[in-house]
Amino acid sequence: MIKTIEHKGNLYPTFQCDGNGARFCMPFALEIVKGDVIYDIGYGKDEWKFPNAVGIDLKDGTEFNAMNLPEPKADAIFNSHLLEHLERPFEALDIWHDKLKQDGVLFMYLPNMDAQSYHRPWSNRRHIHYISPTVMRSYFDDNKDMWCNVFISERDAYDSFTVFCNKK
């Protein structure tokens, strides 16, 4: 029997509440996220961090966070279920652009708030922004001078989606 949870009359698989959503996008991320300098922003637990990445998380107690990345510039920036928690998510994307090397990769795994009611900010107060593939397409369409090779997936079995692209 598939274990489920119920939220506002909708059933979801319980694995969606176990944390480490990155495990569902990792096979794709390992194909795309490469380089000597990789930042994993908001990784949460050491065992969840992208392999060989420099972890940047508030729990680390350093001056570095999603809005203040260390040097050197990165070959890639990875994050999973982070953007919806940031006070200024689109400013963060601009900062990450500045911290990537030319042609560097941005890879994000995001909750699809169109697909799952629990992810929405009025249901999950830790989420302060409504993120969906449509919202992300709008951002990247409006910033074609900054980003290229933009790929945005649709809903997966984790009720999430991936976004990956290169710095232009």
pTM (2 d.p.):
0.92
Query: For 53, which DSSP code?
Result: P
| Domain assignments of the chain as residue spans, ordered by start | 19-167
In three-state secondary structure terms, 136 is helix
Distances (CA, A) of 46 to 49, 51, 52, 112: 5, 10, 11, 25
Per-residue pLDDT of the chain (168 residues; tens, 9 = 90+): 989 988 888 888 888 877 888 999 999 999 999 999 999 999 999 999 999 999 999 888 888 999 999 999 999 999 999 999 999 999 999 999 999 999 999 999 999 877 777 777 677 777 788 889 999 999 999 999 999 999 999 999 888 999 999 999
Distance from C-alpha of 116 to C-alpha of 12, rounded to nearest angstrom: 8
- CATH architecture of the domain 19-167 equals 3-Layer(aba) Sandwich (3.40)
Backbone φ, ψ for residue 90 (5° rounding): -80, -25
